[in-house]
Structure 1
Amino acid sequence: MSDMTVRHNPGRERFEILDAGNVIGKAVYKEYDGGESPQRIFYHTVINEEYGGQGLAGRLATAALDSTVQAGSSIIPVCPFIKKFLAKHPEYSANVVPVAPAHLEFLDSALSARARG
């Protein structure tokens, strides 16, 4: 596990965890600017099955959320894993914005457009 790294891949709107350069997990988001400040809607987090149980999703979430806060964006937790992670890590609470219908409509529209494109 010494070759594990986390990187931000803004072109694909995701944070990735890599093992020896191979992507083995990701925390995917959409940028949303309909609020008072920039916001990141986290909607999917996954770690490849063979890497499960090693705490990698938590490591990925920590890096993704820390980077989001450092960038001055708020966290919108749609992803079930991110919601659960935030419940256990109150240090992020000042940077979390509750999910609103507008967030879900934006996300649905953006993902539908991507699927068609």
Structure 2
Amino acid sequence: MTTISIRNNPERSRFEVLDGDTVIGRAAYVDDENSRRIFYHTVIDKEHGGQGLAGRLAARALDETVAAGLVIVPVCPYIRSYLGRHSQYAANIKTPTPAILEFLDSALAARARR
């Protein structure tokens, strides 16, 4: 492992874990018009698992989301689980509703068509 860093890549709508210049993990999101950031998928490449990188990624993504004044919508099971263990984010969470899930589905379908 070389230098591990975490960054937000808004052009790709995801936070990324990098090993040097190589993306080895990501927390994907969609922002909506109501100042909500919907996290829908988090993954760390298998060969980098077990090093606590997913937790570091979640913490950075959630801290930056709150700092930006956005509400966290945890659709992703990992983010939802992380939030259950870290109560400092409780005031910034919105439970996914059918309307939010419909918006997410539409947004992801639109991305797929690009």
TM-score (norm 1): 0.94
SS in 2 for 1:42: strand
Matched, 1:100 2:102: no
Deviation of 1:20 after TM superposition, in Å, equals 1.1
Partner of 1:75: 72
Matched, 1:14 2:11: no
Deviation of 1:112 after TM superposition, in Å, equals 1.2
SS in 1 for 2:96: coil
Using the aligned pairs only, state the percent identity: 58
TM-score (norm 2): 0.96
Deviation of 1:53 after TM superposition, in Å, equals 0.6
Partner of 1:28: 28
Deviation of 1:2 after TM superposition, in Å, equals 5.6
Partner of 2:113: 116
How many pairs are equivalent?
114
Q: Distance in 1 between matches of 2:89 and 2:71?
A: 10
**Aligned Cα RMSD in Å?**
1.0
Structure 1 segments unaligned to the other structure (5+ residues): none
Q: Distance in 2 between matches of 1:97 and 1:2?
A: 36
Deviation of 1:116 after TM superposition, in Å, equals 2.1
